[in-house]
Amino acid sequence: MITREQLDQARRTAAAFFEKAGIVLTEEEKAGIEVADFGLGDLWRTGLEDVTYVNTERVCAKEMVVTPGQTCPEHKHPELNGRPGKEETFRCRFGTVYLYVDGEPVKNPAAVPPQGVYTVFHEIILHPGMQYTLLPGTLHWFQGWPQGAVVSEFSTTSHDESDIFTDERIRRAPEIA
**87 CB-side CA count, 13 A:** 7
Q: How many domains does the chain have?
A: 1
- 137 within a domain of the structure (yes/no): yes
| pLDDT score recorded for residue 1 | 83
| pLDDT score recorded for residue 104 | 97
- 141 within a domain of the structure (yes/no): yes
- 33 within a domain of the structure (yes/no): yes
- 175 within a domain of the structure (yes/no): no
- 174 within a domain of the structure (yes/no): no
| pLDDT score recorded for residue 52 | 97
Closest-CA residue to 35 (of 22, 19, 20, 46): 46
pTM of the model: 0.95
- 172 within a domain of the structure (yes/no): no
| pLDDT score recorded for residue 171 | 87
- 171 within a domain of the structure (yes/no): no
Q: Are 60 and 153 in contact (CB under 8 A)?
A: yes
* Residue 146: φ, ψ to 5°: -85, -20
* CATH number reported for the structural domain that contains residue 76 in this entry: 2.60.120.10
- 176 within a domain of the structure (yes/no): no
Q: Could you tell me the residue range of the domain that residue 76 belongs to?
A: 4-165
Please identify every stretch of the chain with a pLDDT value under 70, giving residue numbers as ranges.
none
